[in-house]
Each structure stands twice: as C-alpha cells, then as structure tokens.
Amino acid sequence: MNLSSQLRPALTIFVLLTALTGVLYPAAVTGIAQGVFPNQANGSVISKDGRAVGSGLIGQNFTEPRYFWGRPSATGPMPYNGAGSGGSNLGPTNPALFDAVKTRVAALKAADPGNTAPVPVDLVTASGSGLDPDISPEAAAYQIGRIAKARNLSIPQVEALVAANTTGKQWGFLGEARVNVLKLNLALDALGK
C-alpha cells in the first residue's frame, strides 16, 4: 500500500476515462443524434413562415382570452422563461399556494363569466418545469367556450382542433393524455380568425 505508487494510475486512468466519457462519448452521441434525429436533437423547433416561433416541447405564456391558456408557470422573472426552468416549490400547506390557486381560479372565471364548470386542477397549479407545453383534455374542454366566443368560432370547430392536438396516453396507459397548447393555438391562428 504505497500512496505514491497509486498516484500514477489514479491520474492516468482519470485522464483517459475523462477523454473517453467526456469527449469521445458525447461526440459519438451528437454524431448519431444529428444524423438520425436532427429535428429532435436541435430542440423540435416549430417554424411559421420561415421564422422560429417556438418549440413543440416548450410551452409559452398565453393570457389573451382568444388563446388556450397553459399551465401556470412559476419561472422568473417572467412566466415560461426558457432560460430559467423551475417550479413554484410551494408546500401543500403554504397559504401562498392557496392564494395563488384562488387568484388563478378567479382569473379564469373573470375571462369566461358564463362558465360554471369546475376549474380543472392543472389549470390552476404551476407545473414542475415552468415550461409545461401541455394541458389536460379537461383543461382544454373547460376553455373551448371562451375561445369559440372570442374567435367567433363554433364549438365543434374548436373541439375538432383540440382533438387534433390531443395525444393519448402512451400505449393506452403510460403517462397522461394531453393537449399541446402552443400547437393548438398556432392551429387556431392558422384558421385566420
């Protein structure tokens, strides 16, 4: 057990393994990724008229009544800040959580006074990443009336768009069914109304 005799292998093996796992390995993954899945590897970016308008995976902030609203986002300084992901971290018994949920419920009700349906819980609770691109089909359904009114569309028209942008559970049971808010709103805008 000689300390100095172990020093050379410690340093050499460390450097060699660093080269293997820190240079060769990520380079290989990047090579394969860019070759096989270039769209995914570069962020699943959505373009409109040749201009990047967002990522299919990253949610955006919507507050206008004519758009479907996404999950509340707790990122700072602005919601859906892509450069600073994160959740609210409010504990279940924190009064701030209760107040926040209450405010969000009130905002939703104010935007759609006639709607007496109960407010789906995912529309009033902040997501984990602050960038959640999806809402539940129930949350989308809750907003259909408001959108139809704001855009002067028929309810079935909006329902059809929602259905087109809904993804079911993977293989019927993994994860949850969800509606991609950005894609749905882009589809709404594409209707031109």
Partner 1 sequence: MNTNAVMQLALYLAVLLVLAWPLSGYITRVMRGEHLGPTRLLAPVERLFYKLAGVDAGRETGWKSYAVGLVLFNLTGVVAVYALQRLQGVLPLNPQGFGTISPDSSFNTAISFVANTNWQGYAGESTMSYLTQMLGLSVQNFLSAATGIAVVIALIRGFARKSLETIGNVWADLTRVTLYVLVPLSLVVAVLLVGQGVIQNFRPYTEVQTVQATVYQTARLDAHGAPVNGADGKPLMVDTAATTQTLPMGPVASQEAIKMLGTNGGGFFNANSAHPYENPTPLSNFIEMLAIFLIPAALCFVFGRMVGDKRQGWAVLAAMTVLFVAAYGVTVWAELAGNPALQHAGAASSLNMEGKETRFGIVASSLFATITTAASCGAVNAMHDSFTPLGGMVPMALMQLGEVVFGGVGSGLYGMLVYAILAVFIAGLMVGRTPEYLGKKIESFEMKMTAIAILATPILVLAGTAIAVSVSAGQAGVLNPQAHGFSEILYAFSSAANNNGSAFAGLSANTPFYNVMLGLAMWFGRFAIIVPVLAMAGSLAGKQRLAVTAGTLPTHGPLFVVLLIGAVLLVGALNFIPGLALGPIVEHLQMIG
Q: How far is the CB of 50 from partner 1 (least distance, A)?
A: 11
Pick between residue 53 and residue 160 the one whose CB is nearest to partner 1: 53
d(Cα 148, Cα 160) in Å, to the nearest integer? 12
Pick between residue 30 and residue 156 the one whose CB is nearest to partner 1: 30
> How does DSSP assign 46-84, residue by residue?
EEETTEEEEETTS-----STTS--------SSSTT-TTS
Q: How far is the CB of 124 from partner 1 (least distance, A)?
A: 5
Both tokens of 132, joined, read 């959640």
Pick between residue 117 and residue 156 the one whose CB is nearest to partner 1: 117
Q: How far is the CB of 112 from partner 1 (least distance, A)?
A: 14
d(Cα 48, Cα 69) in Å, to the nearest integer? 20
Pick between residue 12 and residue 156 the one whose CB is nearest to partner 1: 12
Q: How far is the CB of 148 from partner 1 (least distance, A)?
A: 18
DSSP run (H or E) holding 19: helix 3-19
